[in-house]
């Protein structure tokens, strides 16, 4: 299963870039630490040791991209470690909130896993957005 090479969907861009580099890429986080991401055999998701036990489907990037687009190209990353979904820095207007609500289909008040540090690094590697301290900004 391969994406349309002319697609502007974030999910397709990340998937195609991973395929172009042979299925595995080294990505750098904001702090400079590097980690690897690998496309799954069915090409529907990626995995990394940075978020063990979780494979994220590429559509998770569409949720973040859509939120960026809806908010003028800039959005807070949020904080799912210290807040429940819908509370404080884990609202629907943050990247972690959008992932919780739209990707994981969680309800307000539920706990969510916060993988934004990894997802933001992947989006920057794919040249979709800039990974800044506390926020993301479209390229």
pLDDT tens for 4-57 read: 557 889 999 999 999 999 999 999 999 999 999 999 999 999 999 998 887 899
Assess contact for 107 and 115: CB atoms under 8 A: no
Q: For the chain, what are the domain ranges? A: 10-138
pLDDT-derived band at 3, boundaries 50, 70, 90: very low
Compare 5 and 59 and report the one with higher pLDDT: 59
Distances from the Cα of 51 to the Cαs of 3, 33, 67, 88, in angstroms? 24, 14, 22, 24
């Amino acid at each position: 299963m391969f994406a349309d090479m002319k697609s502007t969907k974030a999910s397709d861009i990340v998937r195609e870039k991973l395929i172009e580099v042979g299925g595995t890429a080294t990505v750098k986080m904001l702090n400079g630490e590097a980690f690897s991401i690998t496309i799954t055999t069915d090409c529907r998701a990626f995995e990394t040791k940075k978020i063990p036990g979780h494979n994220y489907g590429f559509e998770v990037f569409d949720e973040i991209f859509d939120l960026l687009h809806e908010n003028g190209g800039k959005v807070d990353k949020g904080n799912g470690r210290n807040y429940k979904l819908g509370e404080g820095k884990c609202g629907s207007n943050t990247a972690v909130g959008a992932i919780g609500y739209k990707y994981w289909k969680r309800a307000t008040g539920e706990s969510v896993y916060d993988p934004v540090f990894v997802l933001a690094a992947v989006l920057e590697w794919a040249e979709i957005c800039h990974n800044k301290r506390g926020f993301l900004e479209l390229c």
